[in-house]
């Protein structure tokens, strides 16, 4: 099992926005010191839900403050970016980090983000597919041209070349069959974030992706398969709830306000599932989250939750979102240290024993 940390950069209003990024850098340096395998960065726009709009610039900054930890994007929103620029920036980050970039990409889902850039969500799937095509052509290292529905590229060649051969690993955010099919076509790992989603749904979605991968002659279980989940660990279950509850509820109340179907936010074709998610989030309580869709508790409880997802849903890379809903810098680092010293060894021990018993 690999262990990473995912950040959303929600702006809670309790500290200056510039301090959000300063604290983040300190936490990244601590994560590397503690032995975390990866750091993952989002892309969001025009909302306190996430105030990091320039993912790959932040990735470049991390590359200069760390030596070993992998730097992931979860995700670069391809429909909102020119794919050639994404390829150039990604290649530069890979050079600056000496080959540590994990390039996660996705479609985007928030109506306000599409509107801010003057793009219709109705075209997001087609934009994403075309952008993926251009991105992969860039990474081939050959001069090419492209004339498509959304982008025209004339006689370009990617510089600099990425360090990783042939290019940084690409991951896809995927929740639907067309996305699973595209991932299978190109042999890509998927990024999952089952916010308040039951285990049987998580299993069904991974089984569908697995089917497409096996039909394409690929083994998804031999690949990196990350999953994002809010994670908070304390010495006791009571202490975990006392600290995490207010932050978890704040996040889920905010999350439902940016989704399709929220007041003033139209549900476009292909985004119907997000309205279902929004309605589920409107009813969520901390006790609900403690049961599924998060990992809150003492070290044993958190380790058990991670092992369950590994065994039942093919997860081999845990992306812990440990700072959420205005969680303080001090509480975040305390949870990080406890996770590294108490949860990681437990997970590895439990999985080794389970494997030996098979």
Q: With contact defined as beta carbons under 8 Å apart, do 173 and 104 qualify?
A: yes
Q: What are phi and psi of 193, to 5 degrees?
A: -140, 75
Q: What is the mean pLDDT of residues 243-260?
A: 86
Q: What is the mean pLDDT of the chain?
A: 94
H or E stretch including 306?
helix 299-313
Say how many C-beta atoms besides its own lie within 10 A of residue 105's C-beta: 26
Residues 153-189: tens digit of each pLDDT: 999 999 999 999 999 999 999 988 999 999 999 999 9
Q: What mean pLDDT comes out for the span 239-252?
A: 93
- Return the pLDDT at 235: 98
Statement: residue 281 has pLDDT above 70:
no
- What distance in Å separates the CA atoms of residue 50 and residue 185, rounded to the nearest whole number? 31
Find the helix or strand (DSSP H, E) in which 145 lies. Answer: strand 144-147
Residue 298 has pLDDT above 80, yes or no: yes
CA dist., res. 194 & res. 202, Å (int):
7
- What does pTM read for this prediction? 0.95
pLDDT of residue 46: 95
Nearest in space to 6 (alpha carbons), one of 66, 50, 67, 57 = 50
pLDDT of 318 above 80: yes
> At residue 196, does pLDDT exceed 70?
no
Tell me, which fold does domain 2-357 have in CATH?
Answer: TIM Barrel (3.20.20)
CA 181 to chain centre: 19
List, for residues 92-139, the tens digit of each pLDDT value: 999 999 999 999 999 999 999 999 999 999 999 999 999 999 999 999
User: 320-323, long-range: CB within 8 Å, 24+ apart, which pairs?
Assistant: 320/3, 320/4, 320/5, 320/6, 320/229, 320/230, 320/231, 320/295, 321/5, 321/6, 321/7, 321/8, 321/228, 321/229, 321/230, 321/231, 322/5, 322/230, 322/231, 322/232, 323/7, 323/8, 323/24, 323/27
Q: How far apart are the first and last CA of the chain?
A: 17
> Is residue 80 pLDDT above 70, yes or no?
yes
């Amino acid at each position: 099992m690999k262990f990473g940390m995912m950040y959303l950069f929600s702006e809670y209003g309790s500290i200056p926005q510039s301090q959000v990024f300063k604290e983040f850098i300190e936490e990244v340096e601590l994560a590397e010191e503690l032995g975390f395998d990866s750091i993952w960065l989002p892309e969001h726009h025009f909302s306190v839900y996430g105030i990091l709009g320039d993912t790959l610039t932040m990735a470049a900054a991390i590359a200069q403050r760390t030596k070993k930890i992998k730097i992931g994007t979860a995700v670069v929103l391809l429909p909102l970016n020119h794919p050639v620029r994404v390829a150039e920036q990604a290649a530069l980050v890979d050079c600056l980090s000496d080959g540590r970039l994990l390039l996660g990409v996705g479609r985007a889902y928030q109506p306000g983000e599409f509107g801010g850039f003057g793009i219709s969500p109705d075209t997001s799937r087609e934009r994403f597919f075309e952008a993926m095509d251009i991105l992969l052509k860039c990474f081939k290292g050959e001069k090419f041209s492209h004339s498509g529905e959304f982008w025209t590229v004339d006689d370009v060649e990617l510089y600099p070349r990425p360090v990783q051969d042939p290019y940084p690993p690409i991951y896809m955010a995927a929740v639907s069959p067309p996305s699973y099919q595209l991932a299978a076509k190109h042999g890509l790992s998927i990024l999952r974030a089952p916010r308040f989603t039951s285990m049987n749904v998580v299993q069904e979605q991974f089984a569908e992706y697995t089917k497409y991968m096996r039909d394409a002659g690929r083994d998804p279980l031999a690949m990196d398969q990350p999953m994002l989940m809010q994670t908070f660990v304390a010495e006791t279950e009571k202490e975990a709830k006392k600290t995490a509850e207010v932050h978890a509820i704040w996040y889920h109340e905010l999350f439902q306000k940016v989704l399709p179907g929220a007041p003033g936010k139209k549900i476009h074709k292909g985004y119907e599932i997000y309205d279902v998610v929004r309605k589920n989030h409107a009813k969520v309580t901390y006790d609900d989250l403690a049961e599924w869709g998060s990992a809150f508790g003492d070290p044993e409880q958190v380790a058990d939750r991670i092992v369950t997802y590994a065994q039942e849903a093919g997860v081999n890379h845990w992306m812990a979102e440990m700072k959420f809903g205005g969680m303080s810098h001090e509480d975040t680092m305390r949870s990080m240290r406890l996770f590294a010293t108490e949860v990681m060894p437990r997970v590895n021990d439990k999985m080794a024993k389970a494997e030996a018993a098979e």
